[in-house]
Structure 1
Amino acid sequence: MRLTKLTLHGFKSFADHTEMLFEPGATMIVGPNGCGKSNVSDAVRWVLGEQRARMMRGAKMEEVIFQGSSARRAVNVAEVSLHFDNTDGILPVAFKEVVITRRLSRSGESDYFLNRTACRLRDIHDLVRGTGLGADSGVVIEAKMIDALLSDRPDDRRELFEEAAGVGLYRDRRRSTERRLEETTVDLSRLDDLIEEVQSQVRSLARQRKKAERSVELTSRRFAVDVTLAARELESWADELTQLQSRLEQLREAVPAAAEQAETAARDREAAQRARAAAEGMRAELARMAQAQREQANQVERELRVAEERQRNAMSRRERADAELQDGEALGQRVIAEREDAETERLRLQTELAAAVELLTERAAAEEEARRTVSMARQQVEAAERTLRDARDQVRRLELDREGTERELAEVLARETVLESEVATLADALASVARDSEAADEALEISRVDVSRAQTALEGARAAAQTARAAEADVRTRLGDADRQRTSLQGRIHGLEALDRDRVGLAPGAASVLREKERFGSGAVLGPLSDFLSADSDAAILVERYLGATVHAVVVRDRDAASAVAAWHAFAKPGPVLLLPLDAVSDVASEDDALASRVRASEPAHRWVRALLGQVTQLDGGSGFVDARGAIYLPGGESAQGPIQRRAELAMLRDDLERLDADRARITLEAQTVSATLHTAEAAVMSAADAATQAQGEVRRAEEARAEIERRSARAHRERNDAQQLTEKLGERRASLQARAADDDAKAEEWRAGLAGHETLIISARQRLAGADEMLEETREGRTVAQVAQAQSHARVQVAQDRASRLLQEQATATARLETLRAELMQLANADSALAEQIATLTVQLEERQLALSELDTRLIEAEEGLRAADLALQTGDDALDLVRRQALLMAEELHQTELRHTQLEARRQNIRERLETEWRKPIAELLEGFEPLDLDADALRFENEQLKQQLEQLGPVNPLAVEEHEEEVKRLDFLAAQRNDLAEAKLSLLQAIKEIDATARELFLATFAKVRENFKQIFQTLFGGGECDLRLENPDQPLDCDIEIHASPRGKKTQRIHLLSSGERALVALSLLFGIFLTRPSPFCLLDEVDAPLDDQNVGRYVKMLNEFKERTQFIVITHNPRTTTEAADAVYGVTMQEPGVSSLVSVRMRNRNGGATNGGVEDDPGRNELSIPSDAASETVEAVA
């Protein structure tokens, strides 16, 4: 299989359809810098499937499409095809010619074709697998690969080896597997945490389920008790509501009559007020009219003065314009005379300029003729010098080749001597390898025993870690329960604090007084009575039941403050309010068992507390209260929680929160202890795992050591056989070198004989050039003189033209100014007449305004007298209205008090209804429908209701969905446990896959490394003709990660490090290694992109010799700048040029010998074609360009 043709269209700088035909052997591609030679190597990489834009020397793949030039538009498609001869059937398809094509459009569509049939990139990879072709193979060898091998960055060097070994695929697989392993490990960790959380939730929901069932039972009984008590209270208020409704109807009939009398008085007052407003409006309108008339008179007077001043200014301006008009007419006459003189001078100067231009043209033509003569003479000199220089270079190259041949011959003799000693050394090495093999077997058996012990210790450590994890999960569950209880307590505390802060439940009247307390003076209103009381929960309930609405009483500073509040209350009507003035009560001693002893009262309201509660005691059985007079108060029903109970509950909740925080701190400390235990156990697991891994590593290293010994044995046998074969080859090489030295001497003498004739031609050409230079200098001086004269004449003409233009402009300006002045004089005359008329009109208007102002002042005095009479009538109406309103207010107050009591009873009844509906979430009608009251007295019902409340509160928050949630979480826990088992098995499988990938990649890399090493040594001997070289792994135990060292000692040198070699020697070492890598995975062809750039003539000769040896079995495409490479190794040559800027075109060049035979057998010769003769080392050849 071989490459027959490359076609490009729209790829980079190859805008047109371009074909390159390839024959067996070496095809050279030459051309100047920037013409697009390297685009050929990019095209080969690209069509074989390269996906990285940076390898195409671009930022994105669309940049390979021709971008356009100064003369062409961009194209939209790039296409490259490789044609292969498959007559030997290496490619597994039934075609004798195989065409691989890749096409890319600007829309981003990328297509591959196989014999013009669309296919996938994978299909092409499958087709060329095993042939050495591919985007990542060594089919293209570039100059940057030499830099990569010689650089100090080990990654660049090992990348080439890994591409040759095909390890990249395994690295990608390992990275993918490690990524999946990491994801699996993270998922497993998350799943463990999730399982622990779900287990905690299952235990918590089990407890919540029991609480929910108990809550349902207690709530059902409490419903019956609560509804029975509410029904009895609603019946007790029915009679009082009927009486209040009757009185309300009487008052509602009397209040409107009183209100109607008040409205009649109000209407009389409004009529008087409207009369006064009309009088006030008349007076204001007359005052406004007088002011407006006065301002108009002032305005007319100001306009009169302005018109007089403008008339005086216009007369002054007419006088100045007359004088300026006379001056302008004189200036216009003078400018006309100067312009006629300037035009005469300009015509004379233009005549002189025409004569100067004609003289300059004649002398410039003479100078150009002399310059062409000099150019032709200089080209003849340069051609002669170039021919002489080429001849001397050829002599020098032949001399260098002769010296190199002598050195190589001496090296061959020395190498034969060294090989004899190497054969003896290798025999000793084989005996040493046998002894090392026995010792490696013993070390391997010991390592396997250590692995078994480490696995046993690892299993024990894992069991201890599992126990510690279970303990940690239990502590986390307890800590989570404590956190949830703490959150619940904090929520209840914050809610009660908000209710207390916002005074929720305070009577509306008391709340309104507190909002308006600033109205009554600082310190007048002190706050509600409840703000000065505090007690425990039991005492708080008793106090609130006894005080009832008195809890909402407002404490004020004294009776004066109470009077101020009462006055405001009469008008604002915010609702009923009980006021407690501090100076209205004296200090009263309280009994020991009184309610006052069970509460804490703060100043200054403590006296009122003792007055209200100091003589009140609780009846036996707790069903009522008795005061000092013996009166018994029996509170009815349950009351809602008041502010005193709220504060008592807050204090209790804060105590519970402190105890819970202490318990949580203890559990946290326990969790830290358990976590430390778990950390120790996990560290023990890691330590045991490391020990097991280390033991496995020892086994692996022992196995590798034994394999290395086996490779050493095979290598020693192979090296002994190679040394014997090399000894025979060196003898043949010695004879060839002696013959080549004699041939180089003969050719050098032939070239020296032709040097004298070339030197004579150069002397003659230089004499002709000197004569031409003298003639050119004389014509240049004449042309300079004529040029100076022409420039001076042109400058004088330009000055004359500028003066004439300036005078013309001045004449136009003077004419325009005269016209402007005449127009201005006419305007001023018209304005003078208009101003005289305006002054007469304004004088008449001023007299009229002054007369009207006098009449308005008289009418204004009459309007002020009418306003005073209207004020007296309005005062009489106000007095009558106040009397009627006071009578209506008294009646309205009685109506308000009656409505207030009615509203209070309705509110209590409505509160009970709303409380029942809110608490039991049903309308009151549905609650009472079909309900059978309990047959118990009220006290028993209240006691039982209190007990039920306490039991429900002790249960705490209840989750009504606990049963369903518990069942769902149990199912979820079972599902997560199954998922965890699957992930654990997947993790073990991924770990095993990584071990298998590492083993395969290691084996493949070591095998490829050994082949590259052998090829490197052979090619090094070919290029350097002797010396020593080697490749070594910095750490043989880790071949996939260690650095690769290159050691090379050319013949006669002892240095080992390539950095100490010359640049040319380093380049040859790198070429040896690149060809060694290429031969490891040989491909049908190899493209070399300017790899000979750093080589001198002598090293180029070695490089050419290597190409000549290898091209019999490998097809080469060589991109080069070196003419010696082209002439000595090429079987065909293509030239790449840019005759059109930005567009590469192709020129084929055929190698012919002087006898007329074409070396490539490609194209017939054209008669009359220009030929450039270049002698070569075998036979003189001719390079002829074929367009």
Structure 2
Amino acid sequence: MVHLKRLEIHGFKSFADKTSLEFKPGVTIVVGPNGSGKSNIADAVRWVLGEQSVKSLRGGKMEDVIFAGSEKRRSLGMAEVSLTIDNTSGVFPLEFNEVTVTRRLYRSGESDYLINRVPCRLRDIHELFMDTGVGREGISIIGQGKVDEILSVRPEERRGLIEEAAGIVKYRHRKKEATRKLEDTDTSLIRLNDIVGELLLQQEPLFEQARVAKIYKEQKTELDGLEIGLLVEEMTTSSRRLQNIEKNRQNQDQEIEEHRTKYLEAQSYEEEKKLLLQKKDEEISSQQEKIYMETLRLEKNESEMNLITERISNISTRRKTFRHDIQQLIEEIETLNREYETQKTSGEDLRKKLQIAQEELQNYEQFLSKDLLDDQELSQRLDDLKNGHFEVLQEETQVNNELNSLKQRLANIEKQQEYIRSKSSNATQEMDTVNGTISNLEKEALDLLSVQTNIKEQMQEKEKSLHTEEKRQIELTQQDRIIQDERNSLTARLRVIKEMEREGQGYAHGVREVLRCNREGLHPGIIGTVAQVLNVPKMFEIAAEIALGGALQNIITENETAAQKAIEWLKANEKGRVTFLPLTTVNGKKPQENLPSGKGVLGRLSELLQYDSKYTGILEYLVGRVFVVENLSIAITKAKETSYRYRIVTLDGQLINAGGSMTGGSIKQNASGILGRKRNLKELEANIEKLDKEIITSQLEIEKVTSLIVGKRKSVAEFKETLQELHIRFAENKKTQERWGAERTRFKTELETIIWQIEEGTKERSSILEEIDNKEKANVVIKKTIHEKQEEVKSIQGQLNIKQAERIKKNEKLTQMRIEVATIEEKMSAFQKEDTYLSQRLKHLTQYKHDKEKESQDLKNKRIQMENAYQELEAQKKRQMTDILEFEKQMEDMKSNRYSLHEEINEIFQNIKRISVQLKEKEDKLHQYDIQQSKYETALEAVVQRLNEQYSLNLEEAKKQSPQDLDRRTAQQRIIILKEEIGTLGEVNLGAIEEYKKLVERLEFLTNQIEDMTEAKQRLQEVIREMNQIMIRKFQETYVKVDKAFQEMFIKMFSGGRAQLSLTEADSVLEAGVEIIAQPPGKKTQHLSLLSGGEKALTAIALLLAVLKVKPSPFCILDEIESNLDEANVNNFAKILKEFSDETQFIVISHRKGTMEIAHVLYGVTIEETGVSSLVSVKLEEAKKVAS
């Protein structure tokens, strides 16, 4: 028993991963929630069996069956489904126990079909399953849509179920093939009969052509023999002439050799002179080098002069600075003098004040001395102590003031020294930087000079090559300009002539208007003027212009109607008058008797012109009786001979009219009429085309040379630019060196000044530190003395306190007066110290000013030295310039000598040129001999080639075939006769003999084919009749069985009621449709559309099961066909399905419990990952839960 064994899905719809379902005989149920993709399994089987309807696969386009991706997965590029079927029973005509059908589809649209992994066609798969109950047209796959379709389709479409069950699908397919072959046979018979008819029409003309071809071959054989004989004779004559030419060539060769010897001797002498010229060039180059070196020295001298100028400027700047510093010193000295005078005045005031204070104190003491007589001794002692104490305090104050002054001076000096040291460090660093920079600049200058020399040498080579290419470019450009000018001239003439043609210049107004309207499509049927349809050889242009005259402007039309409409238009629009020549009415006759002939008569003008044959009648009408002769004398003679019956025109335009009148005279030279204008157009276009080719060639050559020149100019420019840059860099280098040298000098001077300032500051600081140390030591002693004095005063004061209580106030006053005196005395001491300091400072500044003035004088002397050096350099510069002028004068003499030598070389060159011309004449003469030799050799080769190509003979074979004692004149006459006879044969079809033979054979072959096809047609008609009978018989037998089974299944499904099938009326049983009549229990017979959904489903299922009962299918896939049934009907359906499972394998996609209970195998489809279906094993209890 055939059954499904395996279904493998990968990338099909929601099955992204490779999924395999194993099937066993019996019932396999596939369950799953809505949207899980379980119906995609039925679609996969339908697709792999060859389904092409996208709608049946529930998609919009075939690409939709490929997995489209999900949130977590990318889309796939291919869908693949494989279906494996058991074939142990041999139902399928393959020698395999298993048949695996595979289908693949790629996103590119390409697809593959395979049977047992072997590529095949879709048609092969359809034919494999035809009439097996398996396939896209059978009932092996039934979905909910199929159930609805059974009830909703037309009766004619529903009969397909019966045909599938009857097994007549393959017969219908074969009938279709036979019908197609019958139609092809009818088409072929019609085509063959048409071909035979055409061949019969060709047979008689071809027979005549074959007869003429036989005569031609006989005459051609004789003609070839005579022509071969003449060719052999021509070869003999050419060989004899070649021998004479060879002898002349040898003599000419000897003369050429003598001239070549003279030519080489002259060239040798020229080379000697050129060597002398080269030597002169080297001397000039050497002299130029001297001038160059002297110029370099001059530039160096000028550079040194510039440097001295710069140094003098620096000295002037420094002197200016010194003058400024001296002026500041003078101002500072004056300020100090003023301060000193002020100090002296203040000191005098203090002395006076001190004197007054001392006198007051002395008076007061004398006043108190009277009260102190009792304790004079003690008071005297206390006074002594106090005086001593005051003196010590005064000394302490003075020492402290001096210490503060010294410390302030020390701080100022240290601050100044710190600033000077910082300045010295910066100056030293900058001095090092300047020295390093100058060293680098000197090295860079040497490198720049070396690079300049190398680049100059390279640039000279490039300039020499560039000059050669530029000279060539000028020559090519001049040549191109000449061609361009010529082309522009021709183009202008062409433009003018075309404009004349376009505007119709030379034509009458009416003719121009008609032609314009014709171009605009307003006058159909207008062909053109007589001039426009003619192509006149140049030599006949004048004759044609004179003979035709105004007729050249006549307009040719296709018929009288076109001419009539054009005339009416001219009249209506007042555009003038025109002569029209309709092709249908104008038809001139060719004259037949007493025609001019003989020497000087060139022929009838109508025969000398070139035009389309359809205009023959018109040209015969216009110039059929016009004859062209060479000159007027001949024209007069021929006119008399023909009794002035014809018009006769000469080549230069003199005309004798019929009847004897004559027209003639001069014609303007180079004047072209309408006919000449046409020829000029063609000639100008041809000449312009030729010049365009020459221009393209010339411009390509110019572009090539220009490209070379651009490259070389660019190289030279780059060299020059590099040299310029190097020169600028060298000059900048020198200037930079000078600038940095001046900086170095400035920093050196500044460092010297800083060192002096540091030394002076150091000395002054040491002196101040020593003074501070002495003062601090003295201050310690004073403090100790003060302390001792204070203690002693305290002791005595204690004793006097009692006695002097009354005198305290007086003593305080006395003390105050003494303090005032002491203070004044202290100030006097400070003034004396300041006076000493100012005196020393004035002395120091005066000395510093003297030093500055001396240094300024030294700079002045140095400037004088530099100015002297500058004058010496300037004198040296003048001598160098004199030397340069002398060198240049010597170089001019050298150039003059070189020019003389160059002139001598030119004379030698002229001599060489004369010898070369003589040699060229000799070689030209030799070339003439070569041309003659080549001519005769070419003639010989042509004869040999003609013998070989035309007759397939070599020289020896030709001599053997050549007639003996051939008379050339007789042979030539016979050749003329043979050619005339062959000419009378007309166009000969040499292939006609073979063609006629093939035509006869082809007629026989086609006649046999027609007979064979007629027999084949009869056989096909018999096959179609037999297949119709078989299909009718099988259909009727199966229809009866299915009708009976349907009635039984309907009762089973509905538990009562009745139903039957009926055929619609038709011309043949094979065309009849199948109607369904159903009456559920308790209802009357009614149309299917009036049944409920459940009743419709039960009716359709009953019919499907009836078909399965009559012709069991190996397997059947049911996709939720029981979804519309109630629970009781589902159980009933499941019970019947289980009965059928003994003969048919069922794969049921369902979610109904009743159906699941009959399953032998259960599969579950779930969505574990969004958008991706997966297969799981399911137990019956779990399936029921899923279903619920």
Q: Same fold (TM over 0.5)?
A: no
Rg larger in 1 or in 2?
2
TM-score for both structures, normalised by structure 2: 0.40
